[in-house]
Structure formats: structure tokens, C-alpha cells
Amino acid sequence: MKKLLITSLGLVMALGSLSASAAGWRTCEGNKIKWDSNTVTMRASNVSFPAGSAYGNALQTSIDRVNDNPSKFNFSLVFGDTSIGRDNGQNETWFTSDPDVHGGAPARALSWRHCYWAFGWHYGIDEVDVVFNTSENYTTSMSKTNLWPFGGSFRPFQTTAIHEFGHAMGLTHENRWYSIMGSDWTFIHANGDTARSYFGEDGAEGSVILYGATAGTMEDLSLTNFKYLGKDGEYSTHQPTQLFNSSNAVLSWFTDAGERRYRVNKGQSVKLELTGENNGKTNQTVKIAYYISTNNLISTADRLIATGTVTLNRDQPATFKSNLVIPADLVSGTNYWVGAIVDYDNVLTESTSTNNASYLPIRVN
Amino acid sequence: MKKSPLWLAVLSALAVQSALYTTTASAAVAAPESTATVRTHALLNQADLVFTGKVVDIQYKDSLDGIPHTFVTYQVDDVISGRPDGKQVTLRFMGGRQQKGEVIRYLDVSETPEFQTGDTDVLFVSRNASNICPLADCNSGRFRNRDGVLTSDDGRVIIETADRSYAISSAVLANDSGIKQDIGRSINEIAAQTREPKAEAIPVTAVKVEKFVTDLKVQAREVASTRAKEPVFISASIRDDFKSPAMAPAAAPQEGAPNLLRRTTTPSDFDRWEEDAVRKNNGNPVL
């Protein structure tokens, strides 16, 4: 049985207070190019995405994750499309094996829009087709060990699909922040052995800018152990968050099961870096708790080592460091995981709480 | 979607796995961070024609099945590899502007470059009038000449690394300011709520276009020696009727990922209980 050791540091962090908003979109004479309806139907090819198949289910999950946004917009996904066509008035998605079509890209979005003046400006999205490349090393599995960002050999299909449907919504690429509209495969959440794809704060912000906030309630906070690294052309690149000593130097680490495991000393003061996101409708100030765990799953059943509060505004992701002390009674030569849970007292009603926790692996010297 | 071909696969590996390299590199001042290797041999192998030139014309035409295409014509300056059919080369890209009466529409095809009259480039052309983007690895097959400095399609400076290979740096040369001329694809500006990245100083290891072309010609001779006689490269003609590639749906790829669990520690009874409890709690870690 784990011993609870509560140390309250009274941490208060206000994050995401930058005034600039995230996201990008196309315009027509200053007007945002978007759908003229808040609900758009996407049709899945019966050849590529049979209903109930692994890829069909992965596609549905991806659409669901895009729809988990605080705007009025959502996609409805229909299976069983038997006649794929371009410019046929239908938004469709399918796989192609034709190199003349995919040209080596893992996926392409073919977006039709209009912008012209005729007794006033006319503008909007007309149709979007999303085509995936059969040659890309996709997997529908979200088991971390399979996935590129965790040292695996496969590209998560869900993150790519969410990125493409972000385009279908009207969003462009993003290279300024940690965003699904950047390098999608490293925009991912993990707590435990399974990773989770999601739309994220930047996508949420973009959806609200284009379509307005939902009239109802929609709140969601999340923590992830990835952060913004830099730019690769139009795309943001991301890297794992890090563990620092009290002088802000990155602690030494080694690769363990595809993730960085940091070497710490008993009683050492460290700074845990995580990225917090507000994927919901309104700014939130909630409690945050920090834990030591004997596995990579952080829960409130783990050993509590600190608490605080955090303010997450919905504009852009916030990567932050928290001052913690590694307990002095941990066992040398043993693997642990240090992590956090946002809204650990469940005060906020969220669309999902699965993404409220994340971690970094450590090894006690 | 961002692809991960040969040279971009290096990027994802660097970003995720090589924290130490990234940290060290980003702390350097003199040399900008190198992000990806430019594999010129692979591009030369893929290309039907490699040349330097300047965009002199951009026009649009629909295919027989009503899909707009963009015809980009270059005045060829220097041929590096292959045999063009004239002093001008016209490339055909899927996407572009379509006007029917007063209605103007655009087809944007993601991951394809945009062109302006006056652009001067080094191009690796592949499967013209066949592929929706007739450049080797699409965006990867285009290098820009920015006042003699070589950049990628998106303006990042190409640098020479310690081992004398080429890499795409993180330094960005700002786009030319001033009046936009004919735009190859998107006539509308992309609006972002913050400004474009600021232009950085040109890195000391930046590659001049002249040097790049000279190196390519040497490499091209090695590639040509392994090929049969090269056919003449045929430009696309806007006068010809054509069909766009058929987009027949294919079955999704076979799931290749094994269902393995890679654990570094043996779960304790508590760990197993915790995993089960969180699973029963719909993944919510607040138990």
C-alpha cells in the first residue's frame, strides 16, 4: 500500500496569458473562408473504410476528437459511400495507392472554395475530400510501443486524420505553437500504456474563431508530455517535455522503452515540465496535484508529493515547469514516474478527464 | 499532410529521440539548427529533369473532368540533368483557379507549392502531366534562389554541414515584400493573428545556388551513367485536353503494428489494481 505524503507548496501558476491567439485560416477580402453551415457531412469510402473495420473505427474516433471542440461546428461521418468523386458536392475520404495522386504525401486534402464579387462578396468552403496514402506506415493502434513519438515504427493514423479534418474545417497549418495543425504525430497525449489523439487547444481556438463558441457548456483541460520545439516550414515541430534541476539544466537521461528516463537523486529539487491546454470554452483556474508512481499511469491513488493551482486560458498551449522535491525515501536503482493531474478534485465537469494526467519517467540514483 | 520521406524521417527522429543533439544545437550561435538532410542523390534518381529557371507564365485550365489545373512555365536557365524539349518548360499541377461566368472557385491541394511569376528556382521534375504535383517528392523537389542564396520551398536556408552534405536549416529568409504578381494557386491571403516569423541573418554556412548547381551536375553525371539514354522531357501544353488522375479508392493498408506491450518494470499488485480501476473509471485518473 502506498504511503501518502502530502506536501502543499501552494503553487499558483497563471498560464496562457499571452494576448496573441493561435490558429490560421484563409480569407477572402478579409472575410474568413469557412463552411456556411455548422454541421458538415463527411462520407467514408466503403472500400477504404468499411464500417466496423479497424480503419473505420479509427476514422470515427478521429472525427469524434475533432468534434470535441467548443465551437458550434461539427462533422457528421457517414459510412458506405460507394461512389467517390471530386467536385461532386460530397465531402469524401478514402485511401489511394496511386503515386500520381498521393505523390508520397501521407495524406492530402483537396479543398474547394469560392471567392468572388458579384453585387457583394461571395466566399466559403464548397467541398473537401481527404485522401490517405496506402504506402504510409500507418497504424490504427494507439499502443505507445507501436507509435513513432514513443520509439515505435508506425505513424498514428488518428493524429493524421485529425490534422486533415482540421483542414476540412478550414484551418491552415500552424508553426508557432504546439498544435495538431503542425507535425501531427507528436501532438499526442499519454498516461499509461496507451496514447490518445486529440484536437487540442490550438484547434479549439481556431474552431471558435471560425464558427463561434457553442451556446452550451463544453470544458476540457489536459496535460501532455510533449511541447513545441520549432518550425519545419509551415509545420510546428514538437519534442518531449523535460525534467530540470533547480538551476534549469536538463537532467541526464537515457532512452527507456522509447521514452526519456531522467536520473534523479533522493531529496533532489527538480522542475517538472509539462504542457497544459484548455480545449474548452472558458478560462479555468483549477487545482493541480503532483505524484510519484511505480508505473506510467498517474492517478490519484499514487503518492502525492505536491499540490497547487493553475490557470489555463483558451488561446494557446502553455508549457510550464513546476518545482518539486523527489522524496528521500525512494529506492535507489528503481524506476518511478513523476507526473501531475489537473483538476484532481474533479470540480470541473469536462467532456473527458482521460487527458488530465501525464508523466515523465525517472530513475533514482 | 506533412510527409515523412527519406529526408524528413530524419527530422522526426531528431525531434523526438535526440534531445541532447537538439539542446546542444539550439544553444549554438554561429550555426543555425540543422533540421533535415537534403538527399540530392535520391532527388536526382527520382527526377526526369533538373534545371534552374525563372517562372515566366502561369495559366489555368480545367481537365476534361472539370478539375482546375495550374500550368507553370519556366524559362530554362541551366540544365543540370535530363533533356528538356525546349528553352521553356511547362509543368502541370492539379489545383488552381476556375471561373465559370462570374463565379470564381479555387481548388487547393495540400502539400503542393505555390508559384509566382518571377520566381527563380532549382527544380527536380518528375512525372509531369501525370502526377498531381510533378516535382520529386513534391515540395522537396523545389529549391528557391533568393538573391543567390539557396533555400527550401518554404524559405529555409540550405546549409552545408561538417561532412559536406546539405541540410535544411531553421533560418528563414523572409518572402519578398512588395506587390504580389500572378499567384500560382491561392489568390487569397492566409490570415494569422500574429505576424510571420522574422527574417534571420543568413547563416555563414548558407549554400550559394551556384555551388549547389555545380555539385548537382557532378552527381548527375554519376546518376546518368547508370541509366539508359534519357528520353526528352516533354512539357505540358495548355492547348492539350487532358484528364486528371483517377482517384479510385483502395483498401486501407493491412494493420502491421504488433500488439506488443513493452514494459520496463513488472507491475505490482497495486499497479494492476490501479490500471483496472482507471479503466473502469473510463480512463479518468481521479479515482
Whether A281 contacts A316, CB under 8 Å: no
Can you tell me the mean pLDDT for A248-268?
96
Judged by DSSP in three states, B36 sits in strand
Measured between alpha carbons, how far is A45 from A43 in angstroms, rounded to an integer?
7
Q: A231 to each of A49, A61, A155, A198, A278, how far by Cα in Å? A: 33, 28, 20, 21, 23
Binning pLDDT at 50, 70 and 90, where does residue A232 land?
confident
Q: How far apart are CA A302 and CA A292, in angstroms?
A: 6
| A151 to B261: CB separation less than 8 angstroms, yes or no | no
Q: Which pLDDT band holds residue A138 (cuts at 50, 70, 90)?
A: very high
User: Are residues B274 and A103, on separate chains, in Cβ contact within 8 Å?
Assistant: no
Q: Label residue A12 exposed, middle or buried (CB < 10 Å: 0-12, 13-18, 19+).
A: exposed
Contact A106 B108 (CB under 8 A): no
Letter for the amino acid at A272? Answer: L
Query: Domain ranges in chain A?
Result: 8-17+238-364, 27-214
Q: Which three cell numbers, joined as nine digits, stand for A47?
A: 472500400
pLDDT of B282 reads 92
> With contacts defined as CB-CB under 8 Å, which chain A residues touch B196?
none
Alpha-carbon distance values, B267 to A119, A255, A296, A335 (Å): 69, 20, 10, 11
- Grouping H, G, I as helix, E, B as strand and the rest as coil, residue B31 is coil
Rounded Cα gap, residues A144 and A357, in angstroms: 16
The single-letter DSSP state of residue A33 is P
**Contact state of B133 with A299 under an 8 Å Cβ cutoff:** no
Nearest to B154 among A94, A137, A233 (CB): A233
Q: What is the pLDDT of residue A135?
A: 93
CB-CB under 8 Å, B265 with A353: no
Q: What is the pLDDT of residues A284-302, one digit of tens each?
A: 999 999 999 999 999 999 9
Across the interface, of A135, A185, A356, the residue whose CB is closest to B12 is: A185
Cα B40 to Cα A170: distance, rounded to the nearest angstrom: 35
Q: Phi, psi at residue A38, to the nearest 5°? A: -90, -5
**Record: contact A114-B252, CB cut-off 8 A:** no
Amino acid identity, residue A174? E
pLDDT of residue B36: 76
Across the interface, do B16 and A186 touch by the CB < 8 Å criterion? yes
Closest by CA position to A188, among listed A12, A354, A1? A354
Q: Is residue A181 over pLDDT 50?
A: yes
The secondary structure of chain B in percent helix, strand, coil, rounded to multiples of 5, reads 20, 30, 45
Nearest neighbour of A96 by CB, restricted to B8, B111, B250: B250
Closest chain A residue to the Cα of B111, Cα to Cα: A108
Spatial contact of A44 and A91, defined as CB atoms under 8 Å apart: no
At the topology level of CATH, where does A27-214 sit? Answer: Collagenase (Catalytic Domain) (3.40.390)
Q: How many whole angstroms separate alpha carbon A228 and alpha carbon A173?
A: 14
pTM over 0.80: yes
Distance, in Å, from the CA atom of B79 to the CA atom of B88, rounded to the nearest integer, reads: 11
Asked whether the beta carbons of B67 and A87 are under 8 A apart, the reply is: yes
What pLDDT, on the 0 to 100 scale, is given for residue A8?
Answer: 36
Determine how many CB atoms are found less than 10 A away from the CB of residue A10.
Answer: 8
- Gap from B130 CA to chain A (nearest CA, Å): 6
Minimal CA–CA distance to A201: which of A18, A17, A21, A14? A21
The model's confidence at residue A218, banded by pLDDT at 50, 70 and 90, is very high
CB contacts, 8 Å: B261 with chain A: 143, 145, 193
Q: Does A177 touch chain B (CB under 8 A)?
A: no
Of A54, A193, A255, the CB nearest to B17: A255
Closest Cβ opposite residue B252 in set A1, A48, A116? A48
Q: Is A280 on the interface with B (CB under 8 A)?
A: no
d(CA A110, CA A92): 10
Tell me, yes or no, if A33 comes closer than 8 A to chain B by beta carbon.
yes
* Three-state secondary-structure class, residue A325: strand
Query: Looking at residue A307, what is its pLDDT?
Result: 97
Instruction: Quote the distance between the C-alpha of residue A257 and its chain's center.
Output: 21
Per cent of chain A over pLDDT 70 is 94
B145's CB contacts (< 8 A; 6+ apart) are B52, B120, B121, B122, B209
Q: Please tell me the predicted confidence (pLDDT) of residue A180.
A: 96
Mutate to test the interface with B, among A32, A53, A87 (most CBs of B within 10 A): A87
Confirm if A311 and A320 have CB atoms less than 8 A apart.
no
Q: Which of A104, A129, A353 sits opposite B5 (nearest CB)?
A: A104
pLDDT at position B120: 96
Closest by CA position to B136, among listed B153, B119, B148, B124: B124
Q: Which of A83, A196, A229 to mutate to test the interface with B (most CBs of B within 10 A)?
A: A229
**Cell numbers representing residue A217 in the block:** 457548456
Q: What is the mean pLDDT of residues A145-172?
A: 95
Quote the pLDDT of residue B137: 86
| Extents of the domains making up chain B | 6-233
Inspect the interface and report whether the beta carbons of A139 and B260 lie closer than 8 Å: no
CB contact under 8 A, B255 and A54: yes
Q: Angle of helix A54-67 relative to helix A157-169, nearest 10 degrees?
A: 50
Cβ burial of B6 (10 Å; 0-12, 13-18, 19+) is middle
Q: Is A56 in a helix, a strand, or coil? A: helix
A103 touching B (Cβ < 8 Å): yes
Nearest to B188 among A28, A96, A136 (CB): A28
Quick one: closest CA in A to B156, which residue? A233
What is the rounded distance in angstroms from the CA atom of residue A178 to the CA atom of residue A121?
A: 34
Interatomic CA distance for residues B134 and B111, integer angstroms: 12
Element (H or E) spanning B271, and its range? helix B269-280
d(CA A151, CA A132): 23
CB contact under 8 A, B268 and A47: no
A25 beta partners: A171, B191
Confidence of residue A176 (pLDDT cuts 50, 70, 90): confident
Least confident of A3-17, A162-176, A222-236: A3-17
Question: Is A166 within 8 Å of A66 (Cβ atoms)?
Answer: yes
Pairing of strands A24-28, B96-100: unpaired
Asked whether the beta carbons of residue A107 and residue B131 sit closer than 8 angstroms, the reply is no
Pairing of the two strands A91-96 and A39-45? parallel
Ranges assigned E (strand) in B116-237: 120-125, 142-146, 149-152, 156-160, 166-172, 190-192, 232-233
Do A263 and A159 meet the contact criterion of CB atoms below 8 Å apart?
Answer: no
pLDDT per residue, tens digit, chain B (287 aa), is: 665 444 444 444 333 333 322 222 223 234 445 567 899 999 999 999 999 999 999 999 999 999 999 999 999 999 999 999 899 999 999 999 999 999 999 999 988 898 999 999 999 999 998 889 999 988 889 999 999 999 998 888 999 988 889 998 878 776 644 333 332 222 233 444 333 444 557 888 999 999 999 999 999 988 776 666 667 788 999 999 999 888 889 999 988 777 665 666 678 999 999 999 999 999 999 99
Q: Which three cell numbers stand for residue B259?
A: 500488439
> Which chain A residues are within 8 Å of B263, Cβ to Cβ?
193, 257
Chain B residues inside the 8 Å CB shell of A152: 257
Cα(A156)–Cα(A189) distance, integer angstroms: 12
Contact status, residue A310 vs residue A276, Cβ threshold 8 Å: yes
Whole-number average pLDDT of chain A: 92
Closest CA relative to residue B49, chosen from B76, B87, B80: B80
**A88 DSSP assignment:** S
Phi/psi of residue A93, nearest 5 degrees:
-140, 140
The grid coordinates of residue B153 equal 520551398
A75-131 pLDDT tens trace: 999 999 999 988 999 999 999 999 888 888 999 999 999 999 999 999 999 999 999
Phi, psi of A157 (to 5 degrees): -65, -40
DSSP calls for A240-290: E--EEETTSPBPPEEEETTEEEEEE-TT-EEEEEEEEEE-SSS-EEEEEEE
Name the architecture of domain A8-17+238-364. Sandwich (2.60)
Q: What is the largest CA-CA distance in chain A?
A: 76
Contact A178, A275 (CB under 8 A): yes
Contact A149 B16 (CB under 8 A): yes
Q: Count Cα neighbours of B106 within 13 Å in the Cβ-side half-sphere.
A: 22
Q: Do A233 and B152 touch (CB under 8 A)?
A: yes
Kind and range of the H or E element at A340?
strand A335-342
Other CB atoms within a 10 A radius of the CB of residue B280 amount to 10
